[in-house]
């Protein structure tokens, strides 16, 4: 079967010359799709990565791995994955767990909405699906936090279903295979169609895993190892010598920086005040040291005093600087200017958060905190040990 088969195409793309540009027709040329599938599978059977979740056919375990692997590298994910399954071995265990424990298990992986959605979806599965992960695509993608590529990854790996995937690695491989010379986000429907056309329906599990391995090990963002690639004969980018220039990127505005004043507020009993962020939004449900954004012309000390008054309704005295923490999120950088503070008056109120608590330095360990706040805890511990 040739790639230029009978499928209907998404609307035509325009290439740089303004001509129609179909990914699945003439661009790959006359190579048989069978050759593409077979060469990739042969390579995979020889060089596949040995990953813990590949030893499982349990859709729950595979689902957990797929969610953790979004925006996170394999070597970082492995210890989290193993501990997660120890803490929450089944969908039911996860559904019944306290959200704070779920966030604690995720602490350090970032993008915490992933953990909150896993938890919510587990509860939904227990409530409506008898605790079983669905084997139908439409049902899978209706669950919180499961998009089309995640569903494809789970259904192909767990049930060997011929459902395509299109994560970042796969996108890069396909873009290079057809030498797509526009930014891939402008050709998503076409790339999905290409992924679907290539997928071997008889070996969906292995084919999708192979595609992911190719993107992760040979077709890397920088310096792809084309001489060892099973698709080097077919790859348009390699044959044109433009593999390192693809995928094309959109020009991006520089990432903004936010200056934040953060308070480590002590009371007379030597306890520290922490607050739990609202469920919605970035880092929802996690605990943090209170504070907020500096307004134009404001000093760090002034900002901390104002934020604490507005957010918690208390008066404090701002003291010495404890630490400055730099952290980068996907769309902005933050500089946390952290100061020791002393509680003066008022009962802390959760005005802008879900909950507030006075805790000891040792008790801080029990709470899930964002990565940038973990550095503050380390600094506090170091100070206490001096």
Q: By CB under 6 A, which span of 4-12, 205-213, 216-224, 253-261 interacts with ligand SF4? A: 216-224
Distance CA 371, CA 110 (A): 8
Our CB check for ligand SF4 shows the closer of 229 and 283 to be 229
> How buried is 344 (Cβ within 10 angstroms: 0-12 exposed, 13-18 middle, 19+ buried)?
exposed
> How buried is 4 (Cβ within 10 angstroms: 0-12 exposed, 13-18 middle, 19+ buried)?
middle
* Shortest reach from residue 31's CB to ligand SF4, in Å: 13
Q: Looking at residue 8, what DSSP letter applies?
A: P
Q: By CB under 6 A, which span of 159-167, 231-239, 254-262, 320-328 interacts with ligand SF4? A: 231-239
CB atoms within 10 A of CB 309: 14
For residues 137 to 176, the per-residue mask of contacts with ligand SF4, x marking binding by CB under 6 A and - elsewhere, is ------------------------------------x--x
Our CB check for ligand SF4 shows the closer of 179 and 303 to be 179
370 interacts with ligand SF4 by CB under 6 A? no
Phi and psi at 235, nearest 5°, equal -75, 115
243 interacts with ligand SF4 by CB under 6 A? yes
**Beta carbons of 38 and 230 less than 8 angstroms apart:** no
238 interacts with ligand SF4 by CB under 6 A? yes
Q: How far is C-alpha 330 from the geometric centre of its chain's CA atoms?
A: 10
177 interacts with ligand SF4 by CB under 6 A? yes
For every residue of 148-183, DSSP letters joined together read: HHHHHHHHHHHH--------HHHHHHHHHHTT--S-
The neighbouring-strand residues paired with 266 are: 272, 342
218 interacts with ligand SF4 by CB under 6 A? yes
Our CB check for ligand SF4 shows the closer of 23 and 177 to be 177
Name the strand (E) or helix (H) holding 230: none
191 interacts with ligand SF4 by CB under 6 A? no
The neighbouring-strand residues paired with 260 are: 293, 336
Q: By CB under 6 A, which span of 14-22, 184-192, 203-211, 230-238 interacts with ligand SF4? A: 230-238
66, 288, 307, 311: the catalytic one is 66
Distance CA 115, CA 102 (A): 7
* Shortest reach from residue 183's CB to ligand SF4, in Å: 17
283 interacts with ligand SF4 by CB under 6 A? no
CB atoms within 10 A of CB 169: 20
The number of residues that bind ligand SF4 (CB under 6 A) is: 14
| Residue of 21, 63, 88, 231 interacting with ligand SF4 (CB under 6 A) | 231
Can you read off the two tokens belonging to residue 361? 């330095």
Distance CA 385, CA 133 (A): 48
Q: By CB under 6 A, which span of 80-88, 218-226, 344-352, 360-368 interacts with ligand SF4? A: 218-226
Distance CA 218, CA 297 (A): 50
Q: Clarify whether 288 is annotated catalytic.
A: no
The neighbouring-strand residues paired with 317 are: 342
* Shortest reach from residue 180's CB to ligand SF4, in Å: 12
Distance CA 206, CA 342 (A): 59
| Residue of 68, 180, 210, 219 interacting with ligand SF4 (CB under 6 A) | 219
Q: Which parts of this chain interact with ligand SF4 (CB under 6 A)?
A: 173, 176-177, 218-219, 224, 226, 229, 231-232, 235, 237-238, 243
Which residues are the active-site residues? Answer: 66
């Amino acid at each position: 079967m040739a790639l230029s088969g009978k499928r209907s195409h998404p609307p035509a793309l325009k290439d740089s010359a303004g001509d129609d540009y179909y990914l699945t027709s003439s661009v790959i040329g006359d190579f048989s799709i069978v050759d593409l599938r077979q060469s990739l599978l042969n390579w995979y059977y020889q060089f596949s990565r040995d990953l813990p979740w590949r030893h499982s056919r349990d859709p729950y375990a595979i689902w957990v791995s797929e969610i953790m692997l979004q925006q996170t590298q394999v070597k970082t994910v492995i210890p989290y994955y193993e501990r997660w399954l120890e803490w929450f071995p089944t969908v039911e265990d996860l559904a019944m767990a306290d959200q704070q424990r779920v966030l604690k298990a995720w602490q350090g992986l970032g993008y915490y909405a992933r953990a909150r959605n896993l938890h919510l979806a587990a509860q939904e599965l227990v409530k409506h699906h008898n605790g079983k992960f669905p084997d139908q695509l439409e049902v899978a993608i209706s669950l919180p936090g499961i998009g089309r590529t995640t569903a494809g990854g789970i259904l192909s790996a767990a049930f060997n279903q011929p459902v395509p995937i299109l994560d970042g690695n796969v996108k890069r491989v396909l873009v290079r295979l057809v030498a797509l010379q526009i930014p891939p986000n402008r050709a998503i429907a076409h790339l999905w169609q290409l992924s679907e056309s290539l997928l071997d329906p008889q070996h969906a599990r292995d084919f999708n895993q192979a595609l992911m391995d190719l993107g992760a090990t040979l077709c890397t963002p920088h310096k792809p190892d084309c001489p060892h690639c099973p698709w080097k004969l077919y790859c348009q980018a390699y044959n044109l010598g433009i593999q390192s220039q693809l995928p094309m990127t959109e020009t991006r505005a520089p990432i903004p920086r936010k200056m934040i004043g953060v308070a480590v507020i002590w009371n007379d009993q030597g306890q520290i005040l922490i607050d739990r962020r609202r469920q919605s939004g970035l880092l929802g449900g996690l605990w943090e040291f209170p504070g907020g954004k500096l307004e134009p012309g404001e000093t760090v000390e002034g900002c901390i005093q104002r934020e604490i008054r507005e957010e918690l309704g208390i008066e404090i005295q701002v003291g010495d600087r404890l630490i400055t923490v730099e952290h980068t999120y996907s769309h902005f950088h933050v500089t946390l200017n952290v100061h020791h503070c002393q509680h003066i008056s008022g009962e802390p109120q959760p005005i802008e958060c879900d909950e507030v608590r006075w805790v000891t330095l040792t008790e801080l360990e029990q709470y899930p905190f964002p990565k940038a706040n973990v550095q503050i805890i380390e600094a506090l511990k170091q100070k206490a040990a001096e």
